[in-house]
Amino acid sequence: MRSSGPQVVLVRHGETEWSQSGQHTSFTDLPLTPAGEKQAKSLCESLKSWKFTLVETSPRKRAVRTAELAGFKGCAIENSDLSEWNYGAYEGMTTAEIRKTDPGWTVFGKTPPSGESAAEVAIRCDRLIAKIRATSGDSLLFAHSHILRVLIARWLELPPEDGRHFVIQTGTMGVLSYEHESPVLLSLNATQFRQGRRL
């Protein structure tokens, strides 16, 4: 069943070497792997007939390339608010490596040195949500795991730290919308769907 209001399709970029290895990737501009390119291309069939009022992407190469391969070359507007969480000194490190000197660390629980706090990421997400809600029709966003997890939490009117409850695989789609007046998460980690319905 289609939801009660406009829908927001969230796309996490295809696989990169660091997403495969679990290294935190914010401002490091990595390309997609061949598998990541294949993931991005596979989204085209689900998205090609969908009419979007707003199409935006993170300015990072991996997100821009995913948008291009998904059929939105020249259509997706770059928006720095969709950039991945800034991991600061922990850029390029895995959680296991970070925890050797910072036991129990997660990005949702503790601000990385010289990086962004959850509250700062939430400010960016709130700006995105305000823009989406001021737009008539459906929206499509190409971005990254942690920023999208906070965006989902904020859409659901939860604190940004609750993004820890959502896991988003590379090259997959999610859908935010409404049931009556309540914001809802309709779908997550879909690899294909029809408009308004996950397959």
Q: Up-side HSE of residue 186: CA atoms within 13 Å toward CB?
A: 27
Which among 37, 84, 91, 116 is annotated as catalytic?
A: 84
**Residue 102: C-alpha distances to residues 31, 39, 96 (Å):** 29, 34, 10
Task: Yes or no: say if 55 and 48 are a contact pair by the CB < 8 Å rule.
Answer: no
Which among 13, 24, 144, 146 is annotated as catalytic?
A: 13
Nearest of 87, 63, 49, 58 to residue 197 by alpha carbon = 49
Known catalytic residue: 15?
no
Cross-strand pairs, 193: 198
Sign of CA pseudo-dihedral 23, 28, 30, 36: positive
Task: Yes or no: say if 193 and 177 are a contact pair by the CB < 8 Å rule.
Answer: no
- The structure tokens listed for 181 are 């007046």
Known catalytic residue: 84?
yes
Give me the amino acid identity at 181: E
Cα of first residue to Cα of last residue in the chain, in angstroms, is 12
Active site residues: 13, 84
